[in-house]
Amino acid sequence: MKYDFNEPIDRLQTGSVKWDEVENLFGDKDILPMWVADMDFKAPQPVINALRNRVDHGIFGYTTRTDSYYEAIIGWMKRRHNWSIEKEWICYSPGVVPALSIIVQTFTNPGDKIIVQPPVYYPFMSVIEQNGREILRNPLIEVNGRYQMDFEDLRQKLDPSVKMIILSSPHNPVGRVWTKEELVTLGEICAEHNILVISDEIHFDLVYKEYVHIPYASISKEFAQNSIVCTAPSKTFNLAGMQTSNIIIPNKTHRDRFKKAVENLAIGLTSTFGVTALISAYEEGDEWLDQLLEYLKGNLEFLNEFIESSIPEVKVIQPEATYLVWLDCRALGIDAKELEKLNRKQAKVAFDEGYIFGQEGAGFTRINIACPRSILEEGLTRFSNAIKSLRK
């Protein structure tokens, strides 16, 4: 089946955080939302059909994760990521961020240090701080428009109070797909210093053709035993509202502790629709995903051409994965707050401003290109007109 990602779909008054919270969050209902990481596309048709059939059944009682739920996950990991996982390793959480919070609470103590690599998805910082742990910043370094990990800085900062790293793989917002070499270097440092690796791989399916994502725990038995890998069908298939994620934990001791924490919080029962959606997405969603990736690549090319011809002051950090594009706006010569004001008040666009990903992101902005091309063009035109007014 051929999917039409160009079709604009009105999401207003559907309870969409991205669209219905615009006035509340940004103070103006005419702002075009291109911020939070969900897509303005319908889910794959097989998922919609499966949910419709489930609705027609009419009974929505307590729901369990069936054998076909686990088989669908195991099949997906093998097919798309060449990663063999066992049923027992798969643990449930309603979302990756709730899982991160549980993991921080379960595997570290108040006052322990946890490494993050900013600029990075901001909830990493909040789950650490809100749980009374300390953030250890190991900022990425940008070399000719491509970000890298700074292992020298990391080695220098380590001490016995560092217990964990939360890794974004692929990285949000800088779009890197980490190479095996980078992951191995990082993993060896962590193993040597008894640092547990939490690899948030929620964007792992949204990787552009030239790149290959490597699940952290697939690298070696040792890496598998010293890691927790967070996955979900939510980013891949636009199913965030289904509240279903899978935390893959090969180490039995770690797994038992995680499961106990979920049980203590009494959040272990799955959403009825989450189970149905996951099975159909992982069993029948390949065709849709392949077409989505082509469409996103087209949007990225459109963005590159638009920016190069209209606002060459803005530098595009080329994403290797994700539909989130990190734009370097430092050459505009305005500070982070002025950039935010320009976007919100003049351009009337809601991007995720770079500084919220850590001070390392100041002067950058992150745009979500998972929308019909017409919406992308509208957003970029607004942004470019506002920048042009700065030039006068």
Ligand X SMILES: Cc1ncc(COP(=O)(O)O)c(C=O)c1O
Q: Does 95 bind ligand X (CB under 6 A)?
A: yes
- For the record, the structure tokens of 242 come out as 């289904």
Q: What is the DSSP letter of 270?
A: B
What CA–CA distance (Å, rounded) separates 97 from 166? 11
User: At its nearest, how many Å lie between ligand X and the CB of residue 381?
Assistant: 25
Q: Which stretch binds ligand X (CB under 6 A): 89-97, 102-110, 310-318, 347-355?
A: 89-97
x/- letters, 24..53, toward ligand X (CB under 6 A): -------------x----------------
Q: Does 236 bind ligand X (CB under 6 A)?
A: no
User: At its nearest, how many Å lie between ligand X and the CB of residue 192?
Assistant: 26
Between 26 and 323, name the residue whose CB sits nearer to ligand X. 323
Q: Does 368 bind ligand X (CB under 6 A)?
A: no
At residue 12, φ and ψ (nearest 5 deg) are -65, 145
State the residue number with the nearest CB to ligand X: 95
What CA–CA distance (Å, rounded) separates 172 from 322? 8
Cα 358 from chain centroid (whole Å): 16
Contacts of 5 (CB under 8 A, 6+ apart): 41, 291, 292, 295, 372
**Strand locations in the chain (E):** 32-33, 90-93, 113-116, 134-137, 141-143, 146-148, 162-168, 196-200, 227-231, 245-248, 315-317, 324-328, 349-350, 352-353, 364-368
Between 354 and 386, name the residue whose CB sits nearer to ligand X. 354
Among 101, 108, 172, 365, binds ligand X (CB under 6 A): 172
What CA–CA distance (Å, rounded) separates 36 from 27? 16
Among 226, 234, 246, 365, binds ligand X (CB under 6 A): 234
Among 101, 138, 168, 272, binds ligand X (CB under 6 A): 168
Count of residues that interact with ligand X, criterion CB under 6 A: 13
Residues lying near ligand X in the complex (CB under 6 A): 37, 95-97, 121, 168, 172, 200, 202, 232, 234, 240, 245
